Chain A
Amino acid sequence: MKKISLLLISAVFLLVIACKAETIPRIISLAPNATEILYSLGLGSSIIGVDDFSNYPEEAKNIERLGTFNNPNIEKIILLKPEYLLVNSGLGKAKEEYLNSLGIKIIKVSPKTIEGLYVDIRKLGIIFNKEQNAENIIQDMQFRIERVSQTRRGVTPKVFVQLFDDPLVTVSSFISDIIRLAGGENIASDIKDEAGIFSYEALIDRNPDIILVVGFSGNTSNSNTINAIKNKKIYRDLDPDLILRPGPRAAETIEMLNKIFYE
């Protein structure tokens, strides 16, 4: 009797292990935001390779690096035999077709709005059997963003995001939605590209109340006709990864920007 129950227990145990082994997918993430989403879904241990810029969470730094997101090392990818490859902007048609022919499924994760981010998180949740986690993350983000929207007061500040000072480079796309949800307005939201050179005249004309200096440059213009400069509302040392990356930390970014906008 004892033997049989022991056998039964070990059989069940083996079955559980077998099931688990079967459901662990092999994923390569060539997009820092996708890496963050995978970790927040609890799929960190499934990631077998990342791009050079995937630096969050800390554990992601220990995963094998495969090069930049648009020019990864194909030989290493082949050798890692992933089932899924998560990309941001895409690898170009020839590479993607080739990787598809090896049986690797390519998933694009490049949301342009917070709603798009929810769609992508939900999509990854469904693909990797983490639907509940995905819903939890989305609900948590929605809750925090809703809470932010209730703490707004006063006029909506006009915000300019400065990526580089000479030439003046700004970003739109996802960050515009983040600024909107934090209670501000990106004065460069009509730049449809992710990054673009912005006219200095337009900066003076649109007169931002707040300038967020993100990324590489420290200098800002010194025209005193710009509200943000007159009132010394220039914020430096902002983590570009936190601000620009369309990932699960977006709610945190919105809370932080909300404080800046209405402090």
Chain B
Amino acid sequence: MNKFKIGPFLFILSFCLLALIVLNIFIGAVRVPVNKMFEPGFFEILKLRLFRALLAVAAGSGLSVAGIILQTVLRNPLAEPYVLGVSSGAGLGAVIGLLFISLGIGVNIAAFIGGVVTIFLVYKLAKIDGRMSPENMIVAGIIVNGFLSSILMFFVSNSSSGNIHSVIWWLLGNLQVYKIAPVLILSLTSLAGFLISFIFSKELNAMSLGEEEARHLGINTESVKIILLLVATFVTSLAVSICGIIGFTGLMMPHIARRLVGPDHRLLLPTSVLMGAIFLLLCDIFSKVMMAPKEIPIGVITSFIGVPFFIYILKKSRKVYFK
């Protein structure tokens, strides 16, 4: 796609995003008649739906940013917060936080620590003789994931039955929040993550060519790498601590966007951010509509769509995605 079609394309995406936010506000278990929108009961419901739609936007875009960073920095088309275990690590941190520190900022901090420790472990495990192949990374992700989920199940099976339910629901992903604060916090974090990676888009472009090439271009890869990995981990951990584990969004969106606008991160980043938001809004409509008035956890839907896509990428990645 050449540059001049990009403008209208991003405009169309933004328009879709707005339309879907409005659609999300009008779809739900209770039918809200338009002429009664401002009655207190209905208004309260619409307010909750607005929070939920905005959280979907924040989480979808944040996870996409994290996905792009991980894929490019680790030079691995299969990298994604969920696949690499960052989500599980953050989830374990958050569950420990929930069970032992109760609510509040403690949960988010515990999630972040869990996420950082996980990415560090996976990174260390995958690096053999200074080299890191995509396959190693995935194996390391599986190992760490398995270890973390055993600890998680230990806590779940030993907590009282009331807690078990809330932890399990939370692990499956849930976009419903009851206050504006978490929505704002995640929105700002995702925005910051987007801006930071956008500032580094030149470095990201260089890195996708290869570490050596990047160094030749005069880019200090190590420090940029660490900054970007921390950004990705922070955004993911915060998203997980607020919405639970929502898998595969960060994997799919960057790939689809790369197909549409090419590998230049200055275009790739805004495109996949918009698409991530759109994707989660769409999934949330499914979650509300498919078995109404019951809801299907959003993580179930994204994984259901995501796994076939993952297999496709896995097959495809033998061919060149990154040089």
Q: How many of B's residues come within 8 Å of A, CB to CB?
A: 23
Interface residue? B177 (CB, 8 A): yes
- Give min CB distance, A53 to chain B, whole Å: 13
Which residue on chain A has the smallest CB distance to residue B161? A194
Which residue on chain B has the smallest CB distance to residue A95? B178
Interface residue? A78 (CB, 8 A): yes
Is B165 a contact of A70 with CB atoms below 8 Å?
yes
Set A74, A90, A102, A193: member contacting B176, Cβ < 8 A: A74
- Give min CB distance, A191 to chain B, whole Å: 12
Is A70 a contact of B44 with CB atoms below 8 Å?
no
Is A90 a contact of B162 with CB atoms below 8 Å?
yes
Is A98 a contact of B162 with CB atoms below 8 Å?
no
Set B29, B161, B169: member contacting A75, Cβ < 8 A: B29
Interface residue? A155 (CB, 8 A): no
Which residues of chain B are within 8 angstroms of A78 by Cβ–Cβ distance?
Answer: 41, 44-45, 48
Is B169 a contact of A79 with CB atoms below 8 Å?
no
Interface residue? A93 (CB, 8 A): yes
Which residue on chain A has the smallest CB distance to residue B294? A67
Interface residue? A76 (CB, 8 A): yes
Is B293 a contact of A70 with CB atoms below 8 Å?
no
Interface residue? A81 (CB, 8 A): yes
Contact A76-B29, Cβ < 8 Å, known A98-B179, A102-B44, A193-B160: yes
Which residues of chain B are within 8 angstroms of A140 by Cβ–Cβ distance?
Answer: none
Query: Beta-carbon contacts of B39-58 to A below 8 Å, as 1s and 0s?
Result: 00110110010000000000
- Give min CB distance, A66 to chain B, whole Å: 8
Which residues of chain B are within 8 angstroms of A102 by Cβ–Cβ distance?
Answer: 44
- Give residues 65-123 of A contacting B (CB, 8 Å): 67, 70-71, 73-76, 78-79, 81, 89-90, 92-95, 97-98, 101-102
Interface residue? A195 (CB, 8 A): yes
A74 to B169, CA, bound (A): 15
Which residues of chain B are within 8 angstroms of A76 by Cβ–Cβ distance?
Answer: 29-30, 293
Contact A75-B28, Cβ < 8 Å, known A93-B103, A94-B177, A94-B178: yes
* Residues of chain A whose beta carbon lies under 8 Å from any beta carbon of chain B: 67, 70-71, 73-76, 78-79, 81, 89-90, 92-95, 97-98, 101-102, 193-195
| Subset of 24 A-B contacts with CB under 8 Å | A67-B293, A67-B294, A70-B166, A71-B165, A71-B295, A73-B30, A73-B293, A74-B176, A75-B28, A75-B29, A75-B45, A76-B293, A78-B48, A79-B30, A79-B42, A89-B160, A89-B165, A93-B103, A94-B103, A94-B179, A98-B178, A193-B160, A193-B161, A194-B160
* Residues of chain B whose beta carbon lies under 8 Å from any beta carbon of chain A: 28-30, 41-42, 44-45, 48, 102-103, 160-162, 165-166, 169, 176-179, 293-295
Other than the known A81-B41, A94-B177, what 16 A-B pairs have Cβ atoms closer than 8 Å? A70-B162, A70-B166, A73-B30, A73-B295, A74-B48, A74-B176, A75-B29, A76-B30, A90-B162, A93-B103, A94-B178, A94-B179, A95-B178, A101-B178, A193-B160, A193-B161
Q: 7 tightest A-B contacts by CB?
A: A89-B162, A98-B178, A70-B165, A75-B30, A92-B166, A75-B45, A75-B29
